[in-house]
A and B are shown apart, each in its own frame.
Chain A
Amino acid sequence: MIWVDTLAQGILLGGLYALFAAGLSLVFGIMRLVNLAHGDLIVFAAYLVLMGVTLLGLSPWVAALIAMPLMFALGWLLQIGVLNRVLGKDILPPLLVTFGLSVALQNGLLEAFSADSRRIPAGSLEGASLDLGIVTVGVMPLLTFVSAIAVIVALNALFYHTALGRAFRATSDDAVTAGLMGIEPKRIFAMATGIAMVVVTIAALYLGMRANFDPSIGPARLIYAFEAVIIGGLGSLWGTLAGGVIIGVAQTFGAAINPEWQILAGHIAFLAVMLLKPRGLFPRAVD
């Protein structure tokens, strides 16, 4: 019975990792950009939500709703002002720039908020649980997982059923020909990064409500997100959810065997998938 419980906890934890990864997957899928500052941007958004809660006295949900357009604008400006200038055939310049951004963000947050670990207060939800018969699950992990599915359904709908999604896919296929169709690839990229930052805000909300965070934890979130994206197959959103779940389940089983094995088990699961399926579980047909 305890294994069923562990499995359920692992799947729900996978929802959080999928939320970390969805924005990364979106940006990589459209512009082949690996944003090394992704984890730090999640932490930045968590502080933004925390400020809404502590300074303005808002509920975390309302604070996140206000943070979303701000993060969208930040993503847009980051893409137009910085990342578009370094995107090109060479993949090294964007890696270096986002690595630099990661360092700058961590130090900026350290300066502004100190190294103390913080948490977004979620009130009665923090300890609430739901009895589902065979297992009892926390309401917060369940909400996280449901949000991850909602985010991926929404992103898929955007991708495959809207004119903007069509422009995303066309630009990803062939930016020069997309230009001949009247699409400005740089604006499309800015839109994609803006949307990724909205997803980052949702991830940040749950990160901050479920556990303590401080300015230094971004890179570890990036690694989990990265692993989820790569397990799923680069550019596949449902694959990203599957990747998050695989890491989550591996971590909870690892922790059940020996608490010191939690993080290690997730990385081993990642390596095992890479050995068996080097292109991930659901690789895109066109790459």
Chain B
Amino acid sequence: MLLETRGLTAHYGQFRALFGVDIAVAAGECVAIIGANGAGKSTLMRSITGVIRNEPAMVLHWGEPIGARSSAEIMKRGIAMVPEGRRLFPSLSVEENLLIGGQARKADGPWSLDAVYDLFPILRERRKNAGTALSGGQQQMVAIGRALMSNPELLLCDEISLGLAPVVIRDIYAALPRVRAGGTAIVVVEQDIGKALAVADRVYCMMEGRVTLVARPADVTRQDIHAAYFGEAA
């Protein structure tokens, strides 16, 4: 399995945010993780990417324990992150923001500066601008492009639609099939259930730090999702 978490727990001081979360992502797969605010989705992403350190065996990459590794080590193994809130570097131009994504990991693959500009043509026009001078949607494109520059095996997208207009969200989601076509597996963390179900092969629903549902989108009903999402029957 490309990525697994086994009994993953996480704490913020006294507050326990995750209670034994098990998820798995196969190579080339697209997995959605849905849940309300505070369900633990972003904590899960931060734990996988080493921002929060864990017990080594709680996170496995091709079966190898990586739970205690640093963010940089995990990224170099091919797990790239589009962080919540985009987190572009204000001192860097658009192009420099993209270049820094591919600086530490040299891997063969379809993604290069030109390929990212082909995926999001507006960024080519804005390449000299400061990353933070762009609109929210364009910043999200830079954040996705930046993560792709390392030609990752797995792309983790944390709340990429948050705060964006529907038409912009549509453009950004339209790029994901091309990312998959390049062989990259994707995890999308979403509050927008419709968007998540439309792109995912499998969906995990989280509530209060636990996984409450694992299913294929075609196999679940609205009632199942509602119960897993809010903890009550529809």
Contact = CB atoms under 8 A, between A and B. Distances in A.
Contacts of A172: 91
Contacts of B103: 163, 166-167, 181-183
A184 interface: yes
Interface in A151-200: 163, 166-167, 169-170, 172-174, 176-184
Contacts of B3: none
A257 interface: no
B70 interface: yes
A179 B71 contact: yes
Give the residue among A163, A176, A182 with the most B Cβ atoms within 10 A.
A182
Give the residue among B71, B83, B101 with the most A Cβ atoms within 10 A.
B71
A286 interface: yes
A181 B92 contact: no
Nearest to B75: A182
Interface string B38-64: 000000000001110000000000000
Contacts of A163: 99, 103
A166 B97 CA distance: 9
Contacts of B92: 166, 169-170, 173
Interface residues of A, number: 18
B89 A170 contact: yes
A180 B50 CA distance: 8
Nearest to B87: A177
Interface string B54-86: 000000000000000011100110001101000
Nearest to A171: B89
B96 A180 contact: no
A184 B103 CA distance: 12
B105 interface: yes
Contacts of A179: 50-51, 70-72, 75
A81 to B, nearest CB: 18
B128 to A, nearest CB: 13
Given A167-B100, A184-B70, A177 B89 contact: yes
A182 B51 contact: no
Contacts of A167: 100, 103
A177 B105 contact: no
Contacts of A181: 72, 75, 100-101, 103-104, 146
B150 interface: yes
A180 B75 contact: yes
Contact of B150 (A166, A173, A182, A286): A182
Nearest to A187: B72
Contacts, number: 66
Contact of B100 (A166, A176, A184, A286): A166
Given A180-B81, A182-B76, A184-B70, A174 B50 contact: no
Given A166-B96, A183-B104, A286-B90, A177 B75 contact: no
Given A173-B89, A173-B91, A286-B90, A180 B100 contact: no
Contacts of B81: 180
Contact of A180 (B49, B90, B91): B49
Contacts of A176: 51, 71
B153 to A, nearest CB: 14
A184 B72 CA distance: 6
Contacts of B72: 179, 181-184
A268 to B, nearest CB: 34
Nearest to A284: B91
A129 to B, nearest CB: 43
Contacts of B146: 181
A178 B89 CA distance: 9
Contacts of A178: 89, 100
A172 B105 CA distance: 20
A236 to B, nearest CB: 12
A180 B89 contact: no
Contact of A170 (B51, B75, B83, B100): B100
B104 A169 contact: no
30 contacts: A166-B92, A166-B100, A166-B103, A167-B100, A169-B89, A174-B89, A176-B51, A176-B71, A177-B87, A178-B89, A178-B100, A179-B51, A179-B75, A180-B49, A180-B75, A180-B81, A180-B83, A181-B72, A181-B75, A181-B100, A181-B101, A181-B146, A182-B72, A182-B103, A182-B105, A183-B100, A183-B104, A184-B70, A184-B72, A286-B91
Q: Which 8 A-B pairs give the minimum distances between C-beta atoms?
A: A182-B104, A179-B71, A182-B75, A169-B91, A177-B87, A173-B89, A170-B89, A286-B90
Interface of A: 163, 166-167, 169-170, 172-174, 176-184, 286
Given A169-B91, A176-B51, A184-B72, 13 more contacts: A166-B100, A167-B103, A169-B89, A170-B91, A177-B83, A177-B89, A178-B100, A181-B72, A181-B75, A181-B103, A182-B72, A182-B105, A286-B91
